[in-house]
Chains A and B, each alone.
Chain A
Amino acid sequence: QSGTSSSTAAGASTPAATASAPLPSPFNGAPVKVALVRQSGAGDFFEAWGAGATAQAKAANIELTVTDARNDNAKQASDLEQAIASKPAAIIVDHGQTDTLQPLITEAVAAKIPVVTYDLALTDATGVITTSQSDASMAQGVLDQLVKDVGDGAKVGYVSATGFAPLDARAKVWDQVVAAHKLDVVFSTGKVTESTATDNIPLVDAALKQNPDVQAIFAPYDEITKGTVQAVIQNNLQSKVKVYGIDISNADIQVITADGSPWVATSATDPAAVGAGVIRTLALSLAGQLKDTSEQFPAVTITQQFLADNAVTNVTQLRVAEPKLKLDTTVVADWLPAVSG
């Protein structure tokens, strides 16, 4: 099996959208070679993202060569370098560090290779099409929900790590919200490791033992959120502590919908839909049909209540219950409908 078959998994149970027009140039000939340079493909979010991208690429007659740096930024730089050297029709860069990738992207642009970035902050985006799921808006959405639930001045905890671009972006919003609503941050811990979910349990466990009166915890990365939830359950505080996360996956839905789960809200895009959206952005641009040079995929705040009301147990059902996730009206064309939607 390869990545291709897993793409079927992500998009499977929804009927494949059918194109109502033939593929335009350059997609009507031999497959178009595109390099997808990823910072990481491991973990549920990135896995689904990759699957969505692969499925959409197939529909658009794009041959994707995916490199996965497994969170090793040096390797991502090498991958991008090698991608440029292989002279593809276009390059997609998925996440990464600004200072690492900016010079290489500039090089690619200079070599006249179209570049699309996803969730990558650039200092010089000339000639680059940028897409993002907007970490800031995601964090804002779920934090609004938090403030609504527990009110100003509540005792809150924060579980995250520094040194990772999306987490740092979410941290900025957190700091603003804390200041604006005078939240009382009683603890702040967390780390990202090779086994993030497991490794955060003891940290949150210790923090909860010390601060059992905390009302809400913001854990802005679903792997961390999962660990946080386990720690809350372990301390029997699920009726007193609410957990707010970011991202969604089958595994996350299972945790949110479990009996008495403290995870009450998450803010998310459908990673598969976003992955597909990025490919569509690229395809439209290559076909000369893209108007903007930047594209934002909006996030949706999903509450536990919503999932319960709609009896949602997996991402496929969630797409049905919350059609906004499908992004099937964002960057589409008659020859290029959204595959996962």
Chain B
Amino acid sequence: MTSAPLNPNEGHDDPVVSLVGVSVSYGSNLVLSDISLEFRPGEITALLGANGAGKSTLIKALSGANSRYSGSVRVAGESVHLATPVQAKALGISAVHQKVADGIVPGLSVAENLTLDDLAQGSKHILRNHRRQLADARSALATLGLEWPDRVLNQDAARLPISDAQLLVLARALRGTPRLLILDEPTSALTAAEAERLFGVLRSLRASGLSIIYVSHRFGEIEALADRVVVLRDGTVQSTTERPFGWSGILHDMLGRSADLEHDRGITHRGTDAVATLSEVTLFSGSAPIDLEIRSGEVLGVLGLIGAGKSEIAELFGGLNSPLAGTLSLGDASYSPRRPGDAIAAGVVLVPEDRQRQGILPGWSVLRNITVPFLAESSVAGIIRKRFEASRADVVINTLGIVASGPGALIDDLSGGNQQKTVVGRWLSAKPRLAILDEPFRGVDIAARREIGSRLASIAAEGAAAMVLSSDVDEIFEVADRIVVLVSGSIELDAYADELDRATVIEAFLGSHQSSTSRKDPE
């Protein structure tokens, strides 16, 4: 936490990139002020900070995506102005940005997306060569140990699920052997196994002398990966810590107050009444029917890999789909919502997994983003009562600590985590009977995660049911009273958290899969 000496063990290495007094402001918002940092070869620097601390902003400046910064950047000792991504890339700085959507060009094939940089390069081949492109795409994927068949490489990249899109963007960033690789929350859309494989790749890249900046809200990953931790708070460097990390200090620097890394959930609650049930429901054609009871008074965590069927369950309850077979019920009555409106009216809310596409209304204020599902409630005879709206938004902003210049701030100007908090807060403010949260912790900081967790616990305590869908074991253990593991559309495990140990869960979660698919382990 105290500033570490600038010369660690491999002190003879000159920094690859150094920042001196870098500041960025968006309009009247001073988002980064006077940042000075150095990044050395063969070192993984973790960048930590609460949502809105300025991590993504720093990365945008460093990767040429935002040229409007002040201060100076030195690359290999030379002072440069990073005006464009091309320029940054030419200098060996390669970045994976937080928004996966910013990395994928729909309409172009997966292979073309993997080799997108080639389109920009002046000298190389003017004519397209399909075979060469496939070869290039395959070799790009190979750095991540991935082998996608040609059928996938030739399909429209828009059809990739978000996790694969994330892998694609990563693979692309590693092409052309950068000197400094910047990863902004690369694992937020990956499953544990994929993340693990990514870490393997990163370690071997570190060994080859690459400098890596790694942004994540998952402390486990940082503990496993980073050589040092830089903490940002409110746009300034709060501390730089070398291994071994003193987590409580880091957390304090991050949040400005004390907090524990290990979160003791205290007692695990046992649910009482069944609020919602799935009976004999088939999630995929051909998969075995499942039965599941979601009870009031407990937080149910559903753990599963991508494609396990978690979102299918969410969509059934949210009124987005109807079951292939089987029935749903809510309370004692059978429940068959035909559209999201029905679900909301029945007290079932769904926090969707893709906040950009399914959650936020870009260009709208935070306030209006929060109140949009509750227009009927906040209006009389159709006329919106502004004050009612505003007070609802204030409650959400305050309980979840959304960092914004006010309820009128545009949602686009919020950091990723704060956007997520807005969407979660919006839905929890509905006082639901059943709340379903699909990957709610994507990109939210530890404090917000705790906050969301305790909000879930409290709505459960008030007699509602809450279900969290995630592919992250830690997250599930942190919030869930009861854990269900879903594999390929069927339930592999269903038990209370205090009766389980992690190994059993991970075994159920990954084990059967690892045996059923021949996956090449990296290294």
Taking the complex as a whole, does A directly touch B, i.e. does some CB pair lie under 8 Å apart? no
Using CB atoms and an 8 Å cutoff, list the residues of chain B in contact with chain A.
none
